[in-house]
Structure formats: structure tokens, C-alpha cells
Structure 1
Amino acid sequence: MRDTQAHALRKHPVRNAIIIVTVVLIVVMIAAALAGALYIRNLESSMSVGEDVRQSLQKSETGDTGSGTASEKSFYMMLVGTDARTSNENGRSDSLMLARVDPESHRLDIISIPRDMQVNIKGVDGVQKINAAYSYGGAALAVSTVSEFAGVPISHYAEVDFANMTGLVDHLGGITVIVPESFSGGNSGLSLKAGEQTLNGEQMLGFTRERYQVQGGDFSRAQAQQLVLLAIMQKIMAQPKMALPGLIQELASAVSTDMNVSSILQLTLKFYGQQPQVQSAICPSYAFDQDGVSYVGVEYNEWRDMMQRVDAGMGPRGTGSIPAAQSSNAGLGAAANAASPRDYAALKNQSLNSGDIIQ
């Protein structure tokens, strides 16, 4: 019997070699697939947010599909910026941004909401600053609070640690931004000249921190953070497609999100090679003091107008008539949980406000 088997092997050496090579290739492919799956699982684990955050996100037929992937339709995403240097300011979010993403039209609008915005937070006594929602109830309460303030459903969430973004910026070879104004020293310890600059990771971090030596204070810092995020996005879009997985790995150390790796790649590819329409703005607002505490108040009429334009796909500074679907929607930009004065004309004209930033 053994002699017969040996003879068979000697009789068909080519066929046997093909079988062996095929088996080896299948084993290698399975091993690669398992390694890839493990790699993606580890990435998603490092970026993952809690189940409470996922449950707080709102899906709708007019936006996200609710499947965990970015649909063809527009959707709202909340971006929370933190800074490890200050231990996240005792748990309070350092910056809040609301993004409307429209993959079909290749449009992205980002609106910063000042962290000191005076609001009422569900389940918390007394007036609060909007970033306190993160402290009291984590990302889940922050999402619901911002959703109520803007009057829109928020489908996705991402938390960005600017201090950990330095490695990504250096990996990209720096980012190019137009610095709105020159500044030196201040709380960032950085000096920059106004105009187009290529920033490395350390410079990027200092730029996003500065609020003392700039004209608009915290409003200017919010603008700087918008500029940095948009510059990073543009630099990523300019990379070869093969580089995207490696860049996502770099992002994993600085970003926490409800989106999985596949969704992020799909969304990135929707914008890849396109000329996206991008607009950014700051919620129309002003600084004021109440009972010895510094707050920011919303300009109700201007905020409502801005959100209606954003929701209509016109951008926060869009011009022209607002479509009936948005102009008749009483919830858009209603700032239902805002606690600042309804009569604000005098207040905004006697203090620092969102109009003081250099565009």
C-alpha cells in the first residue's frame, strides 16, 4: 500500500506541487484575514465610545441610516475637543463643534459652540456652562445637550484629543493653515506670524491653545481649532489611497468615535479626490458676567437663521432665501435649553463677541 502511494506521488509531481502551493496560499490568506480582522478590531477598540453614547445618538430617515455607517444623505456629527495638558479641565469638554456632513454634495459645515454658553442641563440644578454637560454625564449628556441647543438630531460623535494629534500632524509632514493674526507668548507659549504657515505637531497644539494674545479670546481659539481640523482633513485627502489605513491607525490614538473603521474609510473615500465645499463659523454669541461668573450668551435670532441655512445645505454664511422646509421648522436653532437673556442687543455690543474674530 505504501509503495502504491509513493508511486502515485512520483507519478504526478506537478499536480501535487500545485495542490501543496494552493493549500499554503489558502492558509496564508486565512492567516492574513485573521490578522487583518484582529488589527481592525484593535483599532476599533481603541477608538470606541461607550454604549451610553451610542444610545444617545439619534438616527433619522432624513439622515443617517442607523446602521453605524455614514449614509449617502446628510447627517450631523458632534466633535468634542479636549486637551490632555489640562486633564480635560476636570472633565469638561475643551471645545464643542457641530458638523453637518453631506457626502452626496461633498459639503462639510462646522460650527463651534462656545464652551461657556449659558444653558440649562437636564438633571442638573441651576444654570450651567454647556461644557459642564460632559462633566456631569459624559459624552452622552453632552450630545443630548448640544442636540437640544441646535435643534437637530446628532447621528455621530467624535472626541478629539488635540495633544495626541501632534503625531498625526508630524506624520503628515505638517499642515498648512492661514493664521488669522500674529501673536507671541500667551498661554500657549508659542509665537506665530499672521498669514499662511506650515505647522508641525507642536506648533499646531500651541495654535489651538492660544486665547490670551489673540483678539477674540476663546472665540479665536475656537476658530483656530476649526482651521486645524480642516487642514488635517485636507492633508489626509491629498494622501495616496494606500496611505489611508496607516493614517487611520494614527487617528486611533487621538480620536474616540462611534463610527467603525469601515465607516470612516467609506466616508473618507466619498470626499477623496473631490473639491469639497467647506464652511466654518461660530455660533453667534457674546460674553457677559452674571453673579461673578463669566458666561457666553446666544444671539437667538442670528443662531436660528444660521442653523436654518446650515440645515438647508446653504452653509452657515449662506445667502438668499431659506427654503420653506427649514424656515417653517421652529426647532432649528431654537436654543430651547439656553438660559441667557432674550434681550441681548446691548450686551453683545458692550462685550467681546463672536464677531470679534478675524476671518
Structure 2
Amino acid sequence: MSAHRRKTDPGTRGTRGPHRRIGRTLLLTGCVLTVLVGATGWYLYDDLAGSIGSSKALEGAEKSQSGDLNILLMGLDSRRDQNGEPLPEAVLDKLHAGSSDIGGYNTNTLILLHVPADGGKAKAFSVPRDDFVTMHGVPGDTGKQKIKEAYGRAKAKREEQLSGQGVTDRRELEREGREAGRKASIATVRAFLGVPIDHFAELNLAGFYHLADALGGVPVCLNKPAKDKNSGADFPAGRQTLNGQQSLAFVRQRMGLDGGDLDRTKRQQAFLAGATKKLNDGGTFTDPVKLLKLIDTAKQDVVTDQGWDLMSFVKQAKNLSGGHVEFTTLPIEGFGSNHGADINVVDDMKIKRLIAEQIGPRASASPSVPGAASSSPGASTPDSAPAASPEKRSAIDGGGIPCVD
């Protein structure tokens, strides 16, 4: 079996169609990161910390004991706002996102950001959304599914439970369902990677558009021209600056990319590199108008864990805005199928070893964490599938922007 993703006609399989393949959500979480590391003024910190959406999803969870921080960035594939209301049609049209009924509550982007206590280089691990892993925190579902589905499955179960108890208020169902989804997604990632999760940040589809637009354009570089009618991508080769709508098209493109989702990840990381460079070079955090626009956007769309001291994080993560972040896409062993849906076959123990080697064993979760010390039941690796090595890409290389195909 090839180590490259099989190409699929976007119109032949629902789970692979252009509206389902919203790889752009990586950028949503990246924009969350840029907001969090940028709010360095105390006069803005109180306003941001007091207004940003907060969650209790991490209450009682094991935390890192080393002083390092593991932060889970989640990009939610949802065409609805925090109250479950459909996004405005004007926004959906700009995003090439289709109807608000399309898509669900998959975490199409999952990035573990590891920030060392000593101020060293941060490391970001992208978890491919189709990795086939054991679910945690999803009532009645302890089998293996795509990692992106933990959120939506737990949300649906919780809403079903509350409806059975007579709850009819839509906003309450949405709020409680999302909290259950966050808990399940965090628990599943934590078990799969074998590390504690200290904080998390979540952003949905509309949030990315708002934040990318607030940045005032992001520089990217292409080795060759790109055109994709499904995503709306139409760019010349070379360095260029993309607005919010163009950025979505850039990271959504799948046609013409040999590796499909895995190649798309490279584009997402390249965009993050450009966004980081823009923040570092553009004076965003010394320009009150730009900064307030960015923060006002964050207050609308970002959800973080309750009690996260953002100012302390900013001090620890000061290197992030300087581009000292190393991106790694976690490896897969090959591709398979589960009830007709394409999946990534992964080696649980290999993933845990890789993470431990990269961030140090003292930062790993205790053996009592479900899934932290042994591979998930039923894990398999195709005999003919060569193992893929983790692919690294520095966020900023000598102040430049990485070019992608």
C-alpha cells in the first residue's frame, strides 16, 4: 500500500467532498495562537482574559509537572456560532463553505503545542485528522474511530441524554454538548499522544475568517501556480500576500496535491509561518488599532479553558512571536478503510515514543493515563505500508517564509 494518500474524486464520496475537507481549520487554531501570544499589554490583558469564552473541560485533568506546557489547539469544522446558530450566508459564501447544515463538529485540526519552561524552542505536533484511534470520553463508544470524530460523537451523546431528561433549550443543549465534545477530544488526544494537556484553545470557521482578516493579510510563497475551482484557489507562483478569503482557498486546496490531506498540512504550516512573520515584522502589537481589532475578534470566537493565566503564558512563550516554533506532522503507517471511509493507520506506541523523544520523558503523562503506556486495542499496520517519517518544518527559517508546491 502506498505511503501517499489515495487521490479521490471530490464528488464521489461524501466524506471526501470539497465541503468536508476543511483543512483550513489548522489556520483557525494558528490564529488563536497569534492572539494569545500577542496580548502583551496589561491594559489589554484584563479585557481579553475577562471576555474570551471559557470552558471547564480540563477540570480535574492531570497537568504537566515539569513546568513545561502542553496546549491543544483545536480547529472546529462547524458552520455555526457558539450558540449553535447558522453563520450568516454572506460569510458562508466568502468561505466557499456551503450551507450551515454541511459538516458537523469534527476537530479537523488538532495541534499539540509544547512550550518549554526554560524559554527554549516550542514544538508543534500536527495530528492528522483521519488517524484511527481509540475513543475516550465518548459514552458507549470505546472502539476506534477517526480522531477528529471524538468531539462530535460526544456532543451528540450528551445532547441526546439531556433531551431525554426533558431539556429543550437549544442554547443549553449546544453549550453542554460542546463541553462534552471538548472533554472527549482532549481525553482522546491525551491518551493517543501519552502526554498531559495543560490548556486548550478552540476556534470555529467564522472565527478564522475574522482573525485572518484582522491580520491585514498573510504572506505565503508558492513554488508553482495553483488553481482549484473547489476551494477557489487561483494564485501565481512566488511570494504574495493573501487576505482572509484567499487564505482559506490556499489551505483548502486539495486538487493537484499528490498527498491530499498530508500535503495540505504543509500548506497550513506554511500559512502559520507567514502569519507569525507578519505579526513579528508588521508592528501589529505596537499599533493600537490593529491590536484592538485582533482582540475584539478573539473575544467573539475563541474558547479556552477556564482559569488559564494568559499573561503568564505570554511571558513563557515570548519566543513564539519570534518564529521559534518547529512544526512536525506526526507519522502514519499507511491507509485503510473503516466501513467505507478512508482512515490513517497509526502505530500508537511509535507516536508516544516520538513525542517523548521530542519533548522529554518527564513531560509525558503518567502510566495510569488510559492509552499512555500501551497501544490501543485492535491497532494494526498494513504489512505492505512503509512507515512514514515525521515531517518537520520550521515556522520561520532565517526570517524567511517556506515555499510550498
Partner Cα separation in structure 1 for residue 119 and residue 44 of structure 2: 34
- Aligned partner of 2:294 in structure 1 is 247
Partner Cα separation in structure 2 for residue 56 and residue 92 of structure 1: 24
CA offset at residue 195 of structure 1?
Answer: 4.2
Partner Cα separation in structure 2 for residue 242 and residue 272 of structure 1: 20
Report the residue type matching 1:311 in the other structure. Answer: I
C-alpha spacing 1:338/1:164, structure 2 compared with 1 (3 Å): farther
Unaligned runs of 5+ in 1: 1-35, 64-73, 313-323
Partner Cα separation in structure 1 for residue 351 and residue 119 of structure 2: 24
Q: Deviations over 1:98-148 (max 9, x none)?
A: 111236324221111111111121341532111111012211110010000
Is the CA contact (8 Å cut-off) linking 2:276 and 2:322 kept in structure 1?
no
Partner Cα separation in structure 1 for residue 245 and residue 341 of structure 2: 32
Moved more, 106-115 or 232-241: 232-241
Which structure carries more helix by proportion?
A: 1
* Aligned residue among 267, 283, 305 for 1:258: 305
Q: Deviations over 1:213-257 (max 9, x none)?
A: 322211122333333334333323342445445532233333221
Report the residue type matching 1:298 in the other structure. Answer: V
Partner Cα separation in structure 2 for residue 119 and residue 172 of structure 1: 36
Alpha carbon RMSD of aligned pairs, Å? 3.8
* Aligned residue among 373, 376, 379 for 1:337: 376
CA offset at residue 149 of structure 1?
Answer: 0.3
Written as runs of structure 1 = structure 2, the 5 A alignment for 1:111-260 is: 111-122=125-136, 123=139, 124-137=141-154, 138-179=181-222, 182-238=225-281, 239=283, 240-241=285-286, 243=288, 244-258=291-305
C-alpha spacing 1:186/1:109, structure 2 compared with 1 (3 Å): farther
CA offset at residue 162 of structure 1?
Answer: 4.5
Is the CA contact (8 Å cut-off) linking 1:303 and 1:333 kept in structure 2?
no
Moved more, 115-124 or 185-194: 185-194
Partner Cα separation in structure 2 for residue 81 and residue 101 of structure 1: 19
Written as runs of structure 1 = structure 2, the 5 A alignment for 1:1-359 is: 40=46, 43-44=48-49, 47-51=52-56, 53-55=57-59, 57-63=61-67, 74-83=68-77, 84=79, 85=97, 87=100, 89-102=103-116, 104-122=118-136, 123=139, 124-137=141-154, 138-179=181-222, 182-238=225-281, 239=283, 240-241=285-286, 243=288, 244-258=291-305, 263-264=310-311, 267=314, 270-271=317-318, 275-285=322-332, 286-300=334-348, 302-312=350-360, 336-337=375-376, 339-341=378-380, 343-348=381-386
Q: Percent identity?
A: 26
- Aligned partner of 1:71 in structure 2 is none
C-alpha spacing 1:335/1:254, structure 2 compared with 1 (3 Å): farther
Q: Deviations over 1:53-73 (max 9, x none)?
A: 13164323213xxxxxxxxxx
In structure 2, the residue corresponding to 1:214 is in which secondary structure?
coil
In structure 2, the residue corresponding to 1:62 is in which secondary structure?
coil
Is the CA contact (8 Å cut-off) linking 1:174 and 1:198 kept in structure 2?
yes
In structure 2, the residue corresponding to 1:191 is in which secondary structure?
strand
Partner Cα separation in structure 1 for residue 45 and residue 65 of structure 2: 33
Report the residue type matching 1:110 in the other structure. Answer: A
How many residue pairs get aligned? The number is 297
Moved more, 161-170 or 265-274: 265-274
In structure 2, the residue corresponding to 1:247 is in which secondary structure?
helix
Is the CA contact (8 Å cut-off) linking 2:54 and 2:306 kept in structure 1?
no
Structure 2 length as normaliser, TM-score?
0.61
Report the residue type matching 1:309 in the other structure. Answer: E
CA offset at residue 177 of structure 1?
Answer: 2.5
- Aligned partner of 1:29 in structure 2 is none
Partner Cα separation in structure 2 for residue 99 and residue 284 of structure 1: 17
In structure 2, the residue corresponding to 1:184 is in which secondary structure?
strand
Partner Cα separation in structure 1 for residue 325 and residue 233 of structure 2: 28
Partner Cα separation in structure 2 for residue 333 and residue 178 of structure 1: 39
In structure 1, the residue corresponding to 2:207 is in which secondary structure?
helix
Partner Cα separation in structure 2 for residue 171 and residue 100 of structure 1: 26
Partner Cα separation in structure 2 for residue 108 and residue 200 of structure 1: 27
Partner Cα separation in structure 2 for residue 252 and residue 335 of structure 1: 40
C-alpha spacing 1:294/1:161, structure 2 compared with 1 (3 Å): same
Report the residue type matching 1:82 in the other structure. Answer: L
Moved more, 255-264 or 281-290: 255-264
Q: Which has the higher contact order (CA 8 A, sep 6+)?
A: 2
Partner Cα separation in structure 2 for residue 201 and residue 117 of structure 1: 28
Report the residue type matching 1:166 in the other structure. Answer: Y
